Every structure is written in C-alpha cells, then in structure tokens.
Amino acid sequence: MSINTKKSIGQQMHSLMEELFPITRSITGEGVRNTLKRLKEIHPNLEIKEIPSGSRCFDWIVPKEWKIEEAFIEEVETSKRIVDFKNNNLHVVNYSVGVDKIVDFEELKKHLHYREDLPDAIPYVTSYYKPYWGFCLSYNQFKELNPKSRYRVYIKAEHFDGVLNYGELIIPGASEKEIFFSTYICHPSLANDNLSGPVLATFLAKFVKNLPKRRYTYRFIFIPETIGSICYLSKNLETLKRNVVAGFVLTCLGDEGDFSYLPSRQGNTLADRVALNLLNHEVGKFKRYSYLDRGSDERQYCWPGVDLPVCLVMKSKFGEYKEYHTSLDNLEFVTPKGLEESYNFYTKLIEVLENNRTYKVTTLGEPQLGRRNLYHSISHLGRSGFTKLLVDFLVYCDGERDLVEIADILGVSAYRLLEVVKVAKKYQLIEEVS
C-alpha cells in the first residue's frame, strides 16, 4: 500500500505563509528585505530593488527606514508587563517613533488602540506619515488596566535614511506584451490581508514558469502598499502602459469566504472581462463591488493618466470581514483550501489569457462536419452537446471578437471553450487573426 504524503498546493502555500507570518514587516526595513530574501530562494531571478529615502516619486517622498527592537508597557508599581512586542508584533503601532517615559492612565489611553466589538483581537494600526507612538492591545487586556496606576511606555525604534525595497520578477514570454501581478509585503503578522497575496504570487510564478510555452511576458511585483506602487509606477510607467494587457492586484486570497470582484476604473478591460467570465461560469457565487469600493494599489494603477487594465479578484474583500486588520486574520483564518481555490481560479485565468485570440472561420457557410467525421469523433451527444458548442463558437469567429467575448455571448466559461478551440484548430475550421 502506498501512502501519498505529497502536500497539496494549498498546503504548500500555507506552509510558506507560516514561515513568513512572524516577520515584522512595514513599508520599509529589515522585515521587507527578509520577506523578499525568502521569496528569492524560491525564485532566484526575483530582483530585490531599492530606492533611497527622500527620493521623489510623483507627488510622494520615499519615507525613512524603520527599525524596531523592543516595545512594552509596564505597570510601574508592580513591574508587570501589560503588553510586549515580543509576544505579537501587532502590539506596536506600525512605524511608531521611539518613546521611553512614565505616564498616567489618562495619558496612556490616548496612545492605546483596541476593539470593543472584538474583545480578543489586537488591532493592526499604522502611522506612516505622521510621527506618533502607540500600542495595540485586546479590549480584554485593556480592561485589566488600573486607572490609578502609572505606566512605563517603552519603544526602542528609530527612523533613519535608508532605502525602500521591493521585489520584481519578470518571466519572459514570446511577446513583450505582459500580464501583470502586483502584491504587497508591508503588513506584519496578518494572513489574508496580506500574506495570501505574495504567497499566491509566488506559486503563480511557479505555474507560469512551468507552462510548456508562454505567449506573454509575466511581471510579478512585491511592493509596500501605496508608496510602493507609486514608486514603481514612477520608474516603469511607460513600459507598463505600452505592454500590460491585463493586470491584477493580489490580496485577500486565502479565506474560505465567497470570491469578490472589484473592477478596474474603466470596468471593461481584458482583465475585467476574463475575471468576470470565469467568476460567472467557473465560480458561480461571488460578490460584486464597485470601483468606489477600491482600497489597495488599484487606486494608483487606475488613476487617470496611469489607466492600467488592473482589477481585483479576491476571496473576502479587505474591510468586509470582521477579522480584517486584527490578530484574528491569522493562520487559522486562512486555510489551505481557501488558498487552493484562489490558485485554481488564477491558473485558469492565466490559461484563458494565454489562449485568448481572435479567430476567423475558414469556410463560407457551415463546414460539413459529417465529412470530417466530426459528429462521431468529438461527441456522442450529437449537435446537442459539444458539436452544438463548436458550431455556436464558429458562428462568432468573424475575425472581430476574441475568445472571451464569444464565451460571454454563448454564456459559457472561456476556460471550457478552450477545448472547443483545440478541436476547431485541429480540423482547420478556424485561423488566427493577428
């Protein structure tokens, strides 16, 4: 008897997430570099790039690096540690300035963040662009504080001129035209938002590398959110505008909730059309949002004048699940099953994009299928099944409509239609229009 001990794709993805989870990430600093270094072990051609602090990128200035070593709140009278960064890196407001002083409860309270509605959760709070120090704790921890006590607040952190890092992985294809995936690497110990994004990107890059042939070039970028996409665009805008045919921001892809779709600003790009076709016909149930619900790097990619064809297909959308931006968005909330569902969706999407061409029929009038033995060889269902789909497909191969558009007209999955294309090509019933 053989026992299959091979891990599923979902389990492999989850294992990588477990490794990356404890790293203290921020928009800059050692945590980002260590995350990128780990990903570079998997994809040696991932380039780790840097932009110096203080550089101007469009309307923004690259922030200083942040380094944190230690942080805690201690009750002075008892020397009892109330919260300690060592136990959870969410306990400190991300990018906090350093502090070391004794404060009363009223003063302390002004620097504490908790969620009364989620009494066990430590919230994730950032202060990137305003100097501030603060701590995050569960409401249950907060309730234990004694209003009469004095507290020592200690954060050993510094900001200094360094660099902003990001990762870029380019996998060349036959064409310079590109499929673009952007994901971010700035959240500390948080799973769905955001580690599911870089983990899926890493596995999709493996999938792309293993394709027997690639029509498109693939660009995967791992950046800090917002400032990273602005920096990246400021350096690569012309290339991206010239080459990207479809792009996706990868985030919130590992829970077991329904899929969600957030369109590009234009709403009808190739990225949107493929995403929607597969959501409708390969997924079925999904939540549809508007561009007004945007929140991640699509804000930059779809900005007027940038106008890249970028949309999002997520599981539970950021801001829409209760665990979002708290310590409850953890390795239990994200599961191998949830990750694998996203992987399966995006690998189908890549296959459809690779094969999305415009075709023209080769006959005037319906081809005589019987003469080609097509009724017998492709389907025992006769015209009611596969053959009907084949002829319906041919009807719209007018040299104008691409595969996805025809799939939408027929009300079928573009992924399923790939089988029909294969047969139509084999029997030379269609030819590609360049």
Positions touching Zn ion (CB under 5 A) are 193
- Minimum distance from residue 189 beta carbon to Zn ion (Å): 12
Report yes or no: 151 and 74 within 8 Å, Cβ to Cβ.
Answer: yes
Comparing CB distances to Zn ion, the nearer of 193 and 297 is 193
By the 8 A CB rule, do 154 and 99 touch?
yes
To Zn ion, the closest distance from the beta carbon of 194 in angstroms equals: 6
Q: Which is nearer to Zn ion, 338 or 367 (CB)?
A: 338
Closest-approach residue to Zn ion (CB): 193
Q: Based on CB atoms, which residue is closest to Zn ion, 25 or 273?
A: 25
Closest separation in Å from C-beta 186 to Zn ion:
8
Residue-by-residue DSSP string for 64-105: PEEEEEEEEEEETTTTEEEEETTT-GGGB-BTPPPEEEEEEH
Query: Would you say 124 or 415 has its CB closer to Zn ion?
Result: 124
Cβ 222 vs Cβ 185: under 8 Å:
yes
Query: Which residues 6+ apart lie within 8 Å of 204 measured at CB?
Result: 181, 220, 250, 343, 346, 347, 350
Are 262 and 250 within 8 A, CB to CB?
Answer: no
CB of 39 to Zn ion, least distance (A): 19
The minimum distance between CB 187 and Zn ion, in angstroms, equals: 6
Q: Which of 197, 244, 251, 193 is nearest to 219 (CA)?
A: 244
Minimum distance of Zn ion from residue 124's CB (angstroms): 7
Neighbouring residues of 297: CB distance < 8 A, sequence distance ≥ 6: 182, 184, 223, 225, 226, 228, 229, 249, 310
Residue placing its CB nearer to Zn ion in the complex, 184 or 359:
184
Q: Output the smallest distance, CB 252 to Zn ion, in A.
A: 9
Residue with smaller CB distance to Zn ion, 252 or 275: 252
**What's the token pair of residue 341?**
């569902």
Distance of CA 316 to the CA centre of its chain: 12
Please identify, using beta-carbon distances, which residue of 190 and 404 lies nearer to Zn ion.
Answer: 190
Task: Between 190 and 420, name the residue whose CB sits nearer to Zn ion.
Answer: 190
The CA-atom distances, in angstroms, between 278 and each of 158, 259, 414 are 47, 11, 7
Smallest gap, in angstroms, from Cβ of residue 281 to Zn ion? 30
- Judged by beta carbon, residue 74 or residue 323, the one nearer Zn ion is 323
Using an 8 Å Cβ cutoff, are 179 and 171 in contact? no
Q: What are phi and psi of 2, to 5 degrees?
A: -105, 135
Do residues 92 and 72 make contact, with C-beta atoms less than 8 angstroms apart? no
**Least distance CB 238 / Zn ion (angstroms):** 29
Reduced to 3 DSSP states, what percent helix, strand and coil does the chain have, rounded to the nearest 5? 35, 25, 40
Nearest residue (CB) to Zn ion, 193 versus 272: 193
Q: Residue 193 Cβ, how far from Zn ion at the closest point, in Å?
A: 4
Minimum CB distance to Zn ion smaller for 12 or for 126: 126
**CA–CA distance, 323 with 302 (Å, rounded to integer):** 28
On whether the CB atoms of residues 194 and 184 are closer than 8 A, the answer is yes
Query: Closest separation between CB of residue 280 and Zn ion, Å?
Result: 28
Q: Is 118:326 a contact under the CB 8 Å cutoff?
A: yes
Q: How distant, in Å, are the alpha carbons of 111, 254, 418, 419, 424 from that of 363?
A: 74, 47, 20, 20, 12
Question: Who's near 130: CB < 8 A, 6+ residues apart?
Answer: none
